[in-house]
Structure 1
Amino acid sequence: MAETKEVKKIATRESYGHALVELGKEHEDLVVLDADLAAATKTAMFKREFPERHVDCGIAECNMIGIAAGIAATGRVPFASSFAMFAAGRAFEQVRNSVGYPHLNVKIGATHAGISVGEDGATHQCNEDIALMRTIPGMVVINPSDDVEARAAVRAAYEYQGPVYLRFGRLAVPVINDRPDYRFELGKGIVLREGKDLTIFATGLEVSESLAAAELLAADGIQAKVVNIHTIKPLDEELVVAAAKETGKVVTVEEHSVIGGLGSAICDVLCEKCPTPVKKLGVQDVFGESGPAVKLLEKYRLDAKGIYQDIKAWL
């Protein structure tokens, strides 16, 4: 902990923009759509490089999903982009009926998810999108933890045949996967830290916060295993069950409602295959509020200190 090496921080929405440009150079069938938010979702990067393959649908997210479905039906690969609140929330019916039901090859790039949207407030802080997208049959749900993982996730989404929901954030987060042995595999969790006393399953920006919380727990003699669950659906059930058996206690951490998200997905598996005490940390059935992103994470106890304290109290 004495090391003071500066950690590089990048917002995963930036990673999304860069990944689209990289893929666009390799694949002429990739098309990007946005709903008048290209600057914020970072799809403007793709628009500059490939203006003929970028479609601004205006502030009409439901229509954008319908257009994406039509493009997918012609054999191209559309990435439809907007804020999570609009892509998953406003356009839910179109995602369900126009993309999910015919199982079309549409990728949904949802940025500005969770309370870390900050000052935009409760109406824009989507803490329900994972729950909504999980319920759609055949929908893959990915929530990357940093820049490296987000880029890999976009590539994996392109290569996968079928609908994919990708969740990105506004806030710059630490780069934690910048290592030679890192490998992204759809539906496979990654053990980042070994421990025998409990397992912390985390997703998205909460992965780095959970690693920091594990350091605080270690100082108190509590060894926490930390697992990065970047793919919430399909879930790595084998790893979830094995870790629960190994440590006997499970904590889930997500920048999302504790209803229907990562915690619910893990509880679904464990109650059936390996009954284990589970503590779900996340947004506790409340709406967010306007404020600086970092302060909001502190208030809703989703920073490293809050996670550490809640785990200590639970144990």
Structure 2
Amino acid sequence: MVYTAKKWIYARAFGGEPKLDNFCLEEEIMPDIREGEFLAKAEYLSVDPYMRIYILSYPIGSVMIGGQIAQVLESKHPEFPVGAYVFGQFGWRTYAICNPTGIATRKPYVLPDFGVLPRSLGIGTLGTVGNSAYFGFLEVCRPKSGETVVVSGAAGAVGNIVGQIGKIKGCKVIGLAGSDVKCRWLEEIGFDYAINYKTTDIGEELLKAAPEGVDCYFDNVGGEISAIVKKQMRHFGRIACCGTISMYNGSPIQVEDPQRDFVSKQLVQEGFSVHRWTDRWFEGIEQNLKWINEGNLKYRETITEGFENMPLAFIEMMKGGNIGKAIVAVE
């Protein structure tokens, strides 16, 4: 059978915020698969902030990068049988051919059984996003019961999960988000406080919410917001740097150097990539799945219908238009 893939190309270099003319839709007839390969059809595709930065290392004309959930249609690989649903970094395309041999840290894998839960969680709470929260927060921040945790970008895909895990671990959790709607949702899912960074003085509100100071900071945004939070860290506080989305669309925001806080308060700050924990990947998925089934971890998705709307979904996500994980459903 002949399969014709649609694919979104990185057609023009970004200048500031992404725009529709940065992308171009093309088609490609898929070749026959070879030994060790499988062909899969996309069902759900992910749009994430990291794509804005990572694609810059690729030449113009490359397929946009990203993960997806896809169903195996043809296979010459015993670990990826026909009919199986897989997660893979196949890019913005409707069909993909993959040879897993030689892929080290971002190997495709067959999705575990989610029971009655939607498969789309495989690119959200039960995938890379959930593992970023699980490992990044627990391994880097090392939260203790009774401590105070601040999460920036708290209504985003990773941030909301971090906050909920913080509550599971017995912490006071404060979320920073960009609208009253997002703040209300954070409080609904268990955050102790939610601060709208666009309409309030973050420093003043944070002092009210955490007069004793901050023990753990999970940083998704960088920039001015993070500089403010770091000033209110307690001695021996821990900071996990997951992203710097405030700087992705242009020049970094110039803020006062917080270096002296790191010295005087003896803080620990660590950047991380979730693929550091590839060898424990399913531990994170299984634990997050258990918490969902127990009712301790809630999820939310912002789903855009139609592969043709990939660029629009990406642009809206980069503007903060999503609550929870931003996903595109192919059909």
What TM-score do you get using the length of structure 1 for normalisation? 0.30
Q: Which structure shows the higher strand fraction?
A: 2
Q: Which structure shows the higher helix fraction?
A: 1
Greater CA radius of gyration, 1 or 2? 2
